[in-house]
Amino acid sequence: MAAPARPAAAVAVRPPAWLGDLLPAPLQPGKACLLAGEPVPSLALASRAIGRRRELARERGLAVALGIDMIHAAVDALLARMALPRAVALDVLAADDSALAEGVVAGIVRGGHAHDLELACGQARAATGLEHVALTLAGGVIAHPMTPEPGNVVLALRGHGPCDSDFEWTVERQRQLGLDPEQSLPGGDRLADALLVPQASFFSVLRDPLRQRWPARLLVVADGGLTGSLAAALPAGVGAGLDLRAWRPPPPFPQLLADGTRLSAAAAACSVGCGMLALVPERDADRWLGHTRAWNEPAEPIGRLTHGAGVEVVG
């Protein structure tokens, strides 16, 4: 009978050396710390990983943009839960020669500093040939979301470009149209680089309305596109009518719709450059519009909620 296999010898591991240069308090292998700070009535969590664009970021050397995007996406997810971000936890699995993971963590640190986030906890492990970076953002809930009802105005907040959930759609559109990833867009960016621009963070423009408890239901536009994200958030018996004829999507959406594809059709598959929707009472719509314009992030009224079901779009 064969001798039983010997257990593998334990191997001492250490976190990637570059973490010590990027983080104010380097994470230790397998060590986790607790969330610090003042107590809040309840916490909301939002988690993000590197996402669908990792290979494109590796190829273009733009991993930092992915890290910033992860922070922005998690911040917006918390805002939609009526919470303000407080602290971020990291989970890093990488080696010293992982340029992708190093760039992503550098972007997370940069995005965290821009939002005054505390690096509250996390863990780091060394791995050869593997790389994984994920974050969990904790925020304090400070308001209750409004229940959508017929008559509410639908306001669209403009993003910076395609979000992570748009990636497969954008790649397919490039293929269908035969677009060169190196072609220049208005403003000088190349098409491939524009697909890696971090999505917008709406923290600055939405912080005060949340603190002042303005009635609203905030929705992040993600999987399901603009119309799917809206439809998923509506209660039974409530639908929506949207008019996108005046909507001006940011690059590269005009280039990706160059064959005459209507916005109403694209909105069922992607964000069309809308990062977040705010459903607000009609009586408060002007206040919301004035506030966003004052922050130079003007929202656009694109429709209303209706009696019925489903989302109808023109444009």
Q: State what percent of residues in the chain have pLDDT above 90.
A: 74
CATH superfamily of 19-141: PurM-like, N-terminal domain (3.30.1330.10)
83-94/118-126 β-pairing: parallel
Check whether 92 has a pLDDT greater than 50: yes
Higher pLDDT, 41 or 238: 238
> What secondary structure, in 3-state letters, does 46-75 show?
EEEECCCCHHHHHHHCCHHHHHHHHHHHHH
Provide the 10 A C-beta neighbour count for residue 234. 22
Check whether 29 has a pLDDT greater than 60: no
CATH superfamily of 153-314: PurM-like C-terminal domain (3.90.650.10)
Distance in angstroms (rounded) separating the CA atoms of residues 16 and 212: 43
Helix/strand/coil percentages in the chain, nearest 5: 30, 25, 45
Q: Could you tell me the two tokens for 175? A: 């293929």
**Residue 23: pLDDT band by 50, 70, 90 thresholds?**
confident
Kindly report the average pLDDT of the chain as a whole number.
89
SS3 of residue 114 by DSSP: helix
- Order of strands across the sheet that contains 83-94: 43-49, 132-141, 83-94, 118-126
For residue 315, which of 276, 267, 253 has the smallest C-alpha distance?
A: 267
pLDDT of residue 229: 96
pTM (2 decimals)?
0.91
Q: Compute CA 180 distance to the chain's CA centroid, rounded to the nearest angstrom.
A: 26
Q: What is the domain partition of the chain in residue ranges?
A: 19-141, 153-314
pLDDT of residue 120: 76
Higher pLDDT, 296 or 188: 296
User: Do 23 and 124 contact (CB within 8 A), yes or no?
Assistant: no
